[in-house]
Amino acid sequence: MAAADRTGPVVRTPYGAVRGRLEHGVAVFRGIPYAAPPFGPHRFRPPVPPEPWHGVRDALAFGPTAPKPPYSDAFAQYLSDPVVPGDDCLNLNVWTPEPGPGARLPVLVWLHGGALTRGSSSVPVYDGRTFARDGVVCVSVNYRLGVEGYGLFPDAPANPGLRDQLAALRWVHRAIEAFGGDPDRITLAGQSAGAISVGALIAAPQAQGLFRRAVLQSGAPEASDRDKVRRMVRRMAARLKVPATAEAFAAVDRELLLRTQAEVGRLSSPVLGGPAFGVVVDGDLVPRDPLQVLVEGRAAAGAELLMGWTRDEYRLWLVPGGLLERVDRLGAVALAGAMARCRAGHEVPRGYRALRPDAGTAEIVGQMVTDHLLRRPLHRLADARPGTSYVYEFAWPSLRPGLGACHALELGFVFDSGDTPESARLAGENVPRELAEAMHAAWVRFVTEGRPGWEPWGPAHPVQVFGDGEPHIAHGPRDAELALWAAPGAAPVEPAPAVAPVAGPSAGSARTTEPRSVARLLRRSGGARRR
């Protein structure tokens, strides 16, 4: 270590002192443990506090990432996913302009996306330096992924990955004042799977009082079908030839477990469903469906919410590997799969065709599923919280061919990290600086003041559109499509039932059915995964 590193800022955490580094006028602390390594006796169990340490611990490099399979080649050309080896993967990073008590700066806690199977806090696009530069203490978190974090077993508590996030949030609430943050002004934010996690946490009774406001980017509060998650575990167990228990899985070689998870999950698709890991109602941390709890106003009352989507979310799910063209060729078969996925009657796709007469099947399918997964539930959430909800749409198209304004594209603009090579993988080179400055400034305002700079949600459905040209308000830009779901034959989404705290055998869970030809299509193309 260079001598200059020994002169970096030192901050005391609840478990010991850490030394960071000054970078471009910002103090950065990386790889701080907030819980013990989740292996050995702690594997598949809720997180426990880390062992305290004596002296000063260097916090100069990103800590180990949670075990995860790599992205397929088709997705790796667009998405960065660094791997840092080691067991101490329950760690976080802090960027602050003013370490030390007394500053009382607003705090942003970031939960990364990656379908709950990939991603980490060390993705360069999530560099918190720009938030710290603008007076916000930024914290990014690693948490358990895949079967380690979201497998459903009869002999272990559910949702250990979500419990990791809760432990990190508690750490931040307790420790952030020493880094210059204000524990009473914490904003919990995430994208995709990270936003789904945010939704679960702001609805969780155990998380109340740990945050002040929340950001949900391209992810809505939801509870996954328990049988869908259990099918992932059972299929893995069948391939491994072991019982579908946490005890048996803990005895399997870690690399073999990851390979098996990747093989079983390759058909999981946001567009057409399939077995996948997700947050489930567990009767404890998640006692009821999070969306239902939040719509009823039973949690986070008065908390400001910033939420939205990208115009062409589905293109990241369909463009890599040429799946978009294959869905277009399948035509009616793919449309039937999307109707099953969304539990929609024939009136819905007919209405989309009328509104988009020049659209191909892939666009119809993609927008239907996007509305089902994201826009409908976020509209419900905003309708339940008028005056304190702010909604946006990101509509700037990527400079990479075919991607449009796809899923995850807004991240480089929110973090103002578009000049990184990792951001350019998805956005292309020379992205518009004015758009990045406007979007990043809106997030800073929301974290700081609770208002991003446009009117809150109300009867006129104002949506701030970030696209080509100046950001502007559009009133009800998705209302025509979403009204189709109220037509006769369009079934509403049923909330997940409450269950006992310890996961038992699933009873009465509905399976999502998919036409066999669609499943074969996904198998040939290598599948598509939500970021």
pLDDT the model gives residue 487: 57
pLDDT the model gives residue 270: 77
Q: What is the number of structural domains in the chain?
A: 1
Yes or no: say if 196 and 224 are a contact pair by the CB < 8 Å rule.
no
| In-domain check, residue 365 | yes
Rounded mean pLDDT, 460-465: 98
Contacts of 200 (CB under 8 A, 6+ apart): 159, 162, 221, 223, 279, 285, 286, 290
pLDDT the model gives residue 450: 97
Q: State the pairing for strand pair 304-310/21-23.
A: unpaired
| In-domain check, residue 530 | no
Average pLDDT score over the chain: 90
Rounded mean pLDDT, 264-290: 87
Rounded mean pLDDT, 414-435: 95
pLDDT the model gives residue 529: 40
From residue 35, alpha-carbon distances to 88, 193, 210, 357 in Å are 8, 21, 17, 53
pLDDT tens-digit series, residues 467-519: 988 999 999 999 999 999 985 444 444 444 444 443 332 323 333 333 444 44
pLDDT the model gives residue 380: 97
List the structure tokens of 491: 């079934």
Strand blocks (E) in 89-204:
91-96, 105-111, 137-141, 181-191
pLDDT tens-digit series, residues 34-50: 999 999 999 999 999 99
The residue type of 501 is: P
CATH number at residue 439: 3.40.50.1820
| In-domain check, residue 233 | yes
Yes or no: say if 455 and 473 are a contact pair by the CB < 8 Å rule.
yes
Q: Is the pLDDT of residue 229 over 90?
A: yes
Selected residue with higher pLDDT from 271 and 316: 316
Give the structural domain span for 519: 3-525
Q: 253 falls in which pLDDT band (50, 70, 90)?
A: very high
| In-domain check, residue 493 | yes
**Side-chain-side CA neighbours of residue 374 (13 Å):** 29
Contacts of 190 (CB under 8 A, 6+ apart): 110, 111, 112, 113, 196, 197, 198, 215, 216, 217, 219
| In-domain check, residue 531 | no
Q: Is the pLDDT of residue 84 over 80?
A: yes
pLDDT the model gives residue 269: 72
pLDDT the model gives residue 266: 82
Selected residue with higher pLDDT from 266 and 336: 336
pLDDT tens-digit series, residues 337-392: 899 889 999 999 999 999 999 999 999 999 999 999 999 999 999 999 999 999 99
Q: Percent of the chain at pLDDT above 70?
A: 90
| In-domain check, residue 368 | yes
- Read off the DSSP letter of residue 281: -
Q: Is 313 a catalytic residue?
A: yes
**Whole-prediction pTM:** 0.92
pLDDT tens-digit series, residues 179-197: 999 999 999 999 999 999 9
- Read off the DSSP letter of residue 370: H
Q: 146 falls in which pLDDT band (50, 70, 90)?
A: very high
Which of 222, 304, 313, 481 is catalytic? The answer is 313
Report the C-alpha gap between 81 and 68 in whole angstroms.
Answer: 10
Which of 192, 218, 269, 525 is catalytic? The answer is 192
Q: Is 407 a catalytic residue?
A: yes
Contacts of 424 (CB under 8 A, 6+ apart): 418, 431
Q: Is the pLDDT of residue 235 over 90?
A: yes
The count of other CB atoms within 10 Å of the CB of residue 467 is: 17
From residue 444, alpha-carbon distances to 89, 103, 448 in Å are 28, 17, 6
Rounded mean pLDDT, 397-413: 98
Which of 407, 417, 440, 461 is catalytic? The answer is 407
